[in-house]
Amino acid sequence: MILKKSLLASLFLLVVFWETANAQQDAQYTQYMFNTMSVNPAYAGSRGQLSIAGLYRSQWVGLEGAPQTFTFNLHSPIRNSNVGYGVSVVNDKIGDGTVQETYIDGLVSYTVDVSLEGKLSFGLKLGGNLLNLDFVQLRQREGFEEAVVADNIENRFSPNVGLGVYYHTNKFYVGLSAPNLLETEHFDNSNSDANAIDFLAKDRVNFYAIAGYVLDLNDNLKFKPALLTKVVGGAPLQVDFSANFLFAERFSFGAAYRWDAALSALAGFQITDQIMLGLAYDKETTDFGAKQFSNGSFEIFLRWELLRSFEKLVSPRFF
């Protein structure tokens, strides 16, 4: 079984390499409902106070070289204004650093009141990403000795810009965004070998649509269905459905389904008024998961907020 997983890992890295060269996608999250700023810059400042959050995702646990993603974001409204700001850092790693990409972005939003309860925000994201590809590690893997001939890429910077729009009330939200609009192409023409790979990566535009609604079932129980849809050229449509319950403003639990890909279980605990902990576990529904090549994927999410006054929250902590 160990040999089988090792060979599969080598095949997996080759597939990842081809995907990097043709149709690279943004990272995916099961707890997207708590990590909205990573996909929509208009969310910045919408919670009404300073909010700092981190998320770690381990994809396909048990498979050597599987992807790992870490996100960190900070955002807040500017006092006595309609402006919000934020900082977002996302790090994607595949293998032991064989493929690594880090996004560092600054965000700004502007919010207008469109009704007594409704607020409409427009967001702009400016920043870029650092790309690292280690072909030495790739050649050291079984079956890759002749497959890759190219120089390593170290901290190659590519600028980017993103846009988003986000509407919310105390019970409902909907948003549209494109976090990375520039389709950057990465080339390496330094190698004169005719067999060398000179086209390394192309970033595709990812379009996101998000929506959610909170229903009060009784004084102690809320129910929130939510949806995230991602569209990217050269890849299948991704649709995530989730349904979460919030009990006594402290405990959340629910399930999610990624269309034709995975089933997920979610749980969260509002430890204090300032600190929230979230957990998620995905089980693949594809042949990849059914054949037990991996033990699923998991996420852990932690958020801290500077609460000056709970009554001044722009939206309930459920989103």
* Tens digit of pLDDT at every position of the chain (319 positions): 443 444 344 444 444 444 444 444 677 788 888 888 889 999 999 998 999 999 999 988 777 778 899 999 999 999 889 999 999 999 998 877 678 889 999 999 999 999 999 999 999 999 998 988 876 666 555 554 555 555 677 778 889 999 999 999 989 999 999 998 987 765 555 555 544 555 555 677 889 999 999 999 999 999 999 999 999 877 788 899 999 999 998 999 999 999 888 899 999 999 998 999 999 999 888 765 555 566 789 999 999 998 655 444 444 567 7
Decide if 57 is inside a domain: yes
Decide if 104 is inside a domain: yes
Decide if 43 is inside a domain: yes
Decide if 214 is inside a domain: no
Q: Distance of CA 105 to CAs 86, 100, 210, 318, Å?
A: 8, 17, 21, 25
Decide if 149 is inside a domain: yes
The confidence score (pLDDT) of residue 125 equals 96
Domain, as residue range, for 171? 25-186+270-305
CATH at 291: 2.40.160
Q: Copy the structure tokens of residue 114.
A: 């469109």
Q: Distance of CA 80 to CAs 74, 83, 291, Å?
A: 19, 9, 56
Decide if 18 is inside a domain: no
Decide if 243 is inside a domain: no
Please say whether the beta carbons of 31 and 280 come within 8 A.
yes
Helix (H) or strand (E) run with residue 138 in it: helix 135-140
DSSP string, 247-297: ETTTEEEEEEEETTTEEEEEEEEE-SSSEEEEEEEEEE-SHHHHTTSS--E
Decide if 105 is inside a domain: yes
Number of domains into which the chain is organized = 1
- What's the whole-model pTM score? 0.81
